[in-house]
Amino acid sequence: MMSVKVEGISLFSIAFLILASVSMANPLQVGFYRHTCPSAESIVRQTVSDAVAKDPGLLPAIIRMHFHDCFVRGCDASILLDSTPDNRAEKESPVNNPSLRGYDLIDAAKTSIESACPHTVSCADIIAFAARDCVDMSSSGKITYSVPAGRRDGRDSVEAEVIQNLPPPTSNDEQLISNFASKGLTLDEMITLYGAHSTGVAHCSTFAADRLYNSTYPSNIDPAFAEQLKGQCPRGDNAGDPTVVLDIQTPEKLDNEYYLNLVKKRGVLGSDQTLWTSRSTAGFVARNAKDAEGWGAKFATAMVRMGGIEVMTGEQGEVRVRCRVIN
């Protein structure tokens, strides 16, 4: 049975509900490779551990990759496909390039798994396993969950579909709710998943013009915080496109500090801060800000739910031998 553990509380009943909901939504299974490739998940974890020891920034990057993959064509590893002479792939979108990274980590895990179990483990499952491990590591082991697997890899990746499916950083509450609902996720799950912004960075080009210099949300930001961000993102200075941390309190730790920042009007992105100023979402933000363990439990549940979006299984799609190209 799937287990979900958040430090300090028992979540047996939540784990049961997660398993039930996943079983109804799709045929993915925990332990899918226990007979065909029993070392798959340990290989991914070791690969992640080795990579983040050299580059800790890969922890939020891989979690973000999982989100970007699942929201476009479902969780099918379409985000990993390279462009061809006849097609520009998802990774070419300005939403993903150059900010999205971690492709080499997934390639390394795939190469090791192919040596152990050829033509068996999908790239889509490797992303899901790696994201789970990054959640575990970036939360210092406080948020762990089992990953139902059995996803198949897609054969298509289209740049234009990215902006059609991923919410921009200027989204208001109605746009965000509509976007996540279209993927089968609830309002609570949406706000819970946005807590991933408690770690990682944002490029100034993605928010500064609207948020700091021509703000759509002029009353939604603490003035002192805005001045701090302006110092990091000077007006009109795009040289190198600098980055700022999304959580000024614990930027390298996955925790509920993100919500505490929103209450203080210190959300970097407009789409983050709108969760606090909107009547439909503020209550969820307040509860997550007060209950770190409860948010962690919900985050584990929501990651499992997100990992089941529009998956292909059985004979659908394929299991790519190399994640960047179709077979």
68 is a catalytic site residue = yes
3-class DSSP state of 161? helix
Q: Please, are residues 311 and 124 in contact by the beta-carbon 8 Å criterion?
A: yes
- Provide DSSP, 92-121: GSTTTTTT---HHHHHHHHHHHHHHSTTTS
Contact, 269 vs 169, CB < 8 A?
yes
Query: Rounded distance, CA 80 to CA 123, Å?
Result: 8
Tokens found for residue 231: 């110092």
Unique residue bearing structure tokens 């983040």: 52
- H or E element: which one contains 15? helix 12-25
Distance (Å, rounded) from C-alpha 101 to C-alpha 135?
Answer: 16
| The one catalytic residue among 35, 66, 68, 197 | 68
Q: Which residues are catalytic?
A: 68
